[in-house]
Structure 1
């Protein structure tokens, strides 16, 4: 097949532009060429062999790209390059409006939305801005509660096709993605990536307002609502309002008394998946949260945080009567009984 130079303006397959000529060639293959490369593990198919090779790493658990400074490992070389900027403190991406600099191009794109609010697709209900109208359309399904994608096995419905795909793995019981550190397995690669942040303690998502960092973008989005003080989601029974739809859904279980999450070991039921996860630790005896100072382990992250106060000698809870300080709020409450008895 003869090589051919592509002119961006003559690319009539899609009205889409690319920076590199190779990307244009690969993009033009997509409408017409079958996905020839198939994963032997999960049968997912790919157009290019390179994509298949990268995908296979999710099954083998191999993380080939290692940082020479801190020995942190990455699945893809581009993630390693971004990480290296944290050591050099280099910020090559600059905002043309306010001159603020960023280490990652993605952070700059997100920042630019603060300057172009009037052009950002925005939800009329929650007033959250989005990078593209297609993302806004998906978001609107939260408010309309429309769920067009249905599981053929159990008829459960989903607002997005990707959620349906992940759900289908629950019927096959297959968990092809394995954590190389603790051997825990996942049916979805995104869940594995989120899990890996527990081991790496990486928090790549940063709030531009208070600079608090999060290990997942969804946590950052929920956090941002604390700055707007808006609570667009209302309970129709008791009128209590929430800044996040998931919190409203959890709250509704109080009224319905529904407990959809069941323990496979003892069949105890819970109203929230997080409560079930914590409960499961009682069966596995696993204590995933470790103190970096004394190596003591805990089943809950909240218990670890309270324990850390012992090492840092921080006593944030102060008695308003005698100024005595305590590491835990519960200890302060018990102490306050001394003053109430005296009165």
Structure 2
């Protein structure tokens, strides 16, 4: 009778230390062992789980074994050709194809031909956007309906398509299948590796149509374009000032909050921006990176060097 009364008053005396869920009956409290029989001991050794800690609960013992390798660093599967090691057998087999040239998956030749021909027979009734494949239209429509049919078994997040779910799952497993051949840094997505490689090659594929400046990232180019268009989409809620990017707005907000997150390790003085801290550090190190091309005199700041140059050229500073 007492247990039944809790259904009326809403009392839930049994709470789960792993996920925080509360229950009216003790038998319901054992839900974790029923749903996720294999739990990583890195979680169990904590009395309480921090909010920002990713709880890794697994349905099968095999998944637990694979997950543990993210903690131990174990990579039991090695390539017989180049010796590279992997945490999972399937990743090693996929890698082997780069040596053998094997391409086991066949595609419908009509689909690539549609892409080349530009034929987009499937159109969205809401926004008019067109697609070459019906499946792509179905996925696109979910951006209008909000439908997210694919859910994560670990944290319950929802996604519009299988690919997004697969990428998300790597945040739980720790899998990073794409590695940089230059520095060894690994990534969960191929596109992130492609972008990272530009830091080594110096490639800048995005160019400004106005002044010709080149950029490594598309977002940087778009922010630069606002210098030409005058667009300032980000506004300060306190004083109403407008800015070209979120980063510039974040720096501006510190003038209102007084926040100075960058501190000098020598004297403890704090600054609102990193470049001010870098410039200040030169007062301790004595570094003078800006030199006069005429007399060789050095300066800690660029503007001081430019001001000095006028003593040689005879140009006066603007009043």
Query: TM-score interval w.r.t. the shorter chain?
Result: 0.3 to 0.5
Q: Please report the TM-score for the alignment, with normalisation by the length of structure 1.
A: 0.42
TM-score normalised by the chain length of structure 2? 0.45
Larger Rg: 2
